[in-house]
Amino acid sequence: MTAKHLLFELGSEELPPKTLIKLSQALLDGVLQGLNAAELTFTGAKAYATPRRLAVFIENLSSHQPDKIVEKRGPAIQAAFAADGKPSKAAEGFAASCGTTFDKLERLKTDKGEWLIYKLAVKGMPTEQLIPDLLRQSISALPIAKRMRWGSFATEFVRPVHWAVLLYGHSVIECEILGLTTGTTTHGHRFHASQAITLSSPENYADVLFQQGKVIADVEQRKTIIRDKANLAASAVNGIAHIEDDLLEEIAALNEWPVPVTGGFDPRFLELPAEVLITTMQTNQKYFPVKDASGALLPYFITFSNIESTRPESIKQGNERVITPRLTDAEFFWKQDRKQSLADRVESLGTIVFQEKLGTLADKTQRVINLAEKVAADLGANIEWAKRAALLAKADLMTDMVGEFGNLQGIMGRYYALADNEPEEVANAIEQHYFPKQSGSPIPPSQTGQIVALADKIDTLTGIFSAGLIPTGDKDPYALRRAALGALRIIIESELSLDIVALVNVSLAQYAHAFDREATRKLVIDFIFERLKGYCLDRGFAPDEFDAVISVNPVQPLDFMKRLQAVKAFRQLPEAESLAAANKRIRNILKKSDTAPATQVGELVETEERDLFAAAKQSAIDIQPFLATRDYQAALSRLALTEIAVNAFFDKVMVMCDDVDLRARRLALLNMLSEQFLQIADISKLQS
């Protein structure tokens, strides 16, 4: 079976830059899924994407599907023949459905019985016949939020399409894609290479576009070029380019032939908060800011042009003219906002509805204040700082700056609070109460920030649940999963000894609207601990280790993690498997017994049970200091020493004996030992 390279390219009007890479990867994934489903083999695959094209290159794609034998199973043999030995109607019907006669059917014998089968040799289809439909299906499945039509065509795509290339080896697979007939003609840069380009083979696609078309087809290559050229341009003004990945990807999606241009702005704007300048340059203008070695902003920016201009100075001046009014607006917002303190803006939060059943942002603010006060008291923290930060946390939402740049919420609150001479701890907490902003991002570093962040997240979580807006599937408009995980991360990673169940109870008690409090409480707690399970599994803990801990219902996430770490360490001990099995046996005996354990162990008969009682009495004493300091690993290590006595007991002693009193005392002994383990975790949940 021969193999050749395949190239598909779809040319279009400029594609949306923020979704270009996503579309490119989705197209590649769809093609690969189709090839695998068709059982077509290949040795490699690569996606290309520029503002005007999506392309897929498949290396050494087989020319045919493999031939194969398809087996169809029919009725069982006992149902395949009538009483007179002739084929039954079921057998005849099966043969007809296969397009054959009864005498062509075979028999399949297995351990479970014998059936009629029909074997059909199916010849593999040529790749050229399979590819067109495969591509159409892949394009149809692309994640395009809103498709458009153009001209008089009925076809739909994210942007109007203009050409399509489909090469298999040196030959064209001629077909129709989105109303276009495929061929060998592509197009290069819109301005630098206006002539059509003919492709002769898939493997030289990127080179031909580069050399003849002034197009860098590989997104990753463009990103590297943009990063390197931005850094080089910044070094020319004694600076370092501030490059964030999201903007780098967007600029790579905007340019087929990126050319750096360095511009500047009036140094007076450096008096504004750095985040304001960076947001203005990145969000509005797609510029890379420039910083000095200490991280302070310089009055320069790096932008990229999609053309090698004969007058680069004009491009520079044009961008400088554009950035000045943007920065002037930001400067105006800054000055206007500072005319009113954050504290004076709190009252206006009452004009913004947070959620219909939960009231306004002012109502939410008061709830967060109350919850922050409790958390601060539980931690022995500064209650006044926590209450003040909670009061001001949402006030910057009422400023012009945050109204213009929503991503600066919290950040501007910190700046305005400092300008109002609020304590630095309070100002920092205003920004940090939004932390962590996404999965893996930093948690609040300050204690007051941790307190307000927790209070805000728990209020949102419990409030939205109480309103009946529980996340389903991928729908989570209030980001409750992120809120729950964020709260857990803050408690665990900041090592805060807080009862999450108690905080949920306090939070739920603040809502005046009608809802089923107990049902909501259970839903919220289950939701939080489901997030905790994901958090733990992501950190290498096993599901059965998590089950062992959650079975004893710890209410403090930090305490939960200490128990979990202890269980993980315990299962590495040589005694672990035996004790886990013994605990499972103990739990089953206690569960199935119709005799209640005695309140006291009392007198025992056999040497082995007396030995186990002595071992259990001593371990109960020995683990108390460890439990008091939450050194669960040491406690489990001490309990592991009971293994010999436990095994000897089960080898020699009949628990469910005829003597009812003795049976009750033996059950009491087992219960005594089991309860010692259950002070930490239910190790019977551990799988061997």
Angle at 595 between CA 593 and CA 596, to 5 degrees: 105
Sign of the Cα pseudo-torsion (19, 20, 24, 27, in order): positive
- pLDDT, tens only, 392-441: 999 999 999 999 999 999 999 999 999 999 999 999 999 999 999 988 89
Rounded CA separation 107/102 (Å) = 11
Angle at 242 between CA 236 and CA 244, to 5 degrees: 140
- pLDDT, tens only, 141-180: 999 989 999 988 888 999 999 999 999 999 999 999 999 9
Q: State mean pLDDT over 361-377.
A: 98
Higher pLDDT, 95 or 233: 233
Task: Label each residue of 162-191 as H, E or C.
Answer: EEEEEEECCEECCCEECCEECECEEECCCC
> HSE-up of 108 (CA within 13 Å, CB side)?
13
Higher pLDDT, 487 or 588: 487
Residue 401 contacts residue 276 (beta carbons within 8 Å):
yes
DSSP 630: T
Rounded CA separation 262/255 (Å) = 16
- pLDDT, tens only, 554-579: 999 999 999 999 999 999 999 999 99
Protein fold of 562-685:
Isoleucyl-tRNA Synthetase; Domain 1 (1.10.730)
304 Cβ neighbours under 8 A, 6+ residues apart: 226, 229, 230, 251, 254, 255, 258, 259, 260, 261, 286
pLDDT at 242 over 90: yes
Which residue's structure tokens are 């993690």?
Answer: 561
At residue 222, the pLDDT reads: 98
The domain ranges of the chain are 3-65+126-210, 69-122, 219-337, 343-539, 562-685
- pLDDT, tens only, 249-292: 999 999 999 999 999 999 999 999 999 999 999 999 999 999 99
DSSP 255: -
Q: What is the bridge-based pairing of β-strands 240-241 and 106-110?
A: unpaired
At residue 592, the pLDDT reads: 84
646 Cα distance to chain centroid: 45
At residue 77, the pLDDT reads: 80
Q: What is each CA distance from 327 to 269, 281, 400, 598, in whole angstroms?
A: 7, 9, 14, 80
Residue 346 contacts residue 362 (beta carbons within 8 Å):
yes
Least confident range from 97-111, 279-293, 519-533: namely: 97-111
DSSP 69: E
Higher pLDDT, 676 or 102: 676
Rounded CA separation 108/111 (Å) = 10
Structure tokens that stand for 159 in this block: 């942007």
Beta pairing partners, 126: 64
Q: Which of 317, 353, 355, 627 is nearest to 477 (CA)?
A: 355
- State residue 308 phi and psi, 5-degree precision: -90, 95
pLDDT at 598 over 80: no
At residue 481, the pLDDT reads: 96
Rounded CA separation 49/40 (Å) = 24
pLDDT at 47 over 90: yes
Instruction: Give me the CATH code for the 3-65+126-210 domain, please.
Output: 3.30.70.260
Rounded CA separation 103/364 (Å) = 79
pLDDT at 667 over 80: yes
Residues in the chain: 688
H/E element holding 476? none
DSSP letter string over 516-584? -HHHHHHHHHHHHHHHHHHHHHHTT--HHHHHHHHTT----HHHHHHHHHHHHHHTTSTTHHHHHHHHH
> HSE-up of 236 (CA within 13 Å, CB side)?
14
pLDDT at 352 over 70: yes
Rounded CA separation 235/232 (Å) = 5
Higher pLDDT, 331 or 96: 331
Q: State mean pLDDT over 336-346.
A: 97
Q: State mean pLDDT over 294-306.
A: 97
Residue 490 contacts residue 442 (beta carbons within 8 Å):
no
What is the average pLDDT score of the chain? Answer: 93
pLDDT at 607 over 70: yes
Q: What is each CA distance from 607 to 29, 651, 652, in whole angstroms?
A: 68, 12, 9
Q: State mean pLDDT over 530-536.
A: 97
Rounded CA separation 510/199 (Å) = 69
Rounded CA separation 143/133 (Å) = 18
H/E element holding 122? strand 113-122
Residue 51 contacts residue 20 (beta carbons within 8 Å):
yes
Q: What is the bridge-based pairing of β-strands 288-291 and 259-264?
A: unpaired
As a dihedral over the C-alpha atoms of residue 575, residue 581, residue 586, residue 589, rounded to 10 degrees, the angle is -160
Structure tokens that stand for 602 in this block: 């009392």
Higher pLDDT, 550 or 597: 550
Which 3 state secondary structure label does DSSP give 76?
strand
Angle at 156 between CA 150 and CA 159, to 5 degrees: 65
Share of the chain above pLDDT 90, in %: 82
The total of other beta-carbon atoms located within 10 Å of residue 629's CB is 10
> Per CATH, the architecture of 343-539 is what?
Orthogonal Bundle (1.10)
pLDDT at 41 over 90: yes
State the pLDDT confidence band at 1, using cuts at 50, 70 and 90: low
- State residue 686 phi and psi, 5-degree precision: -70, 130
Residue 524 contacts residue 502 (beta carbons within 8 Å):
no
Least confident range from 86-100, 394-408, 492-506, 511-525: namely: 86-100
Share of the chain above pLDDT 70, in %: 100
DSSP 475: B
Rounded CA separation 610/605 (Å) = 7
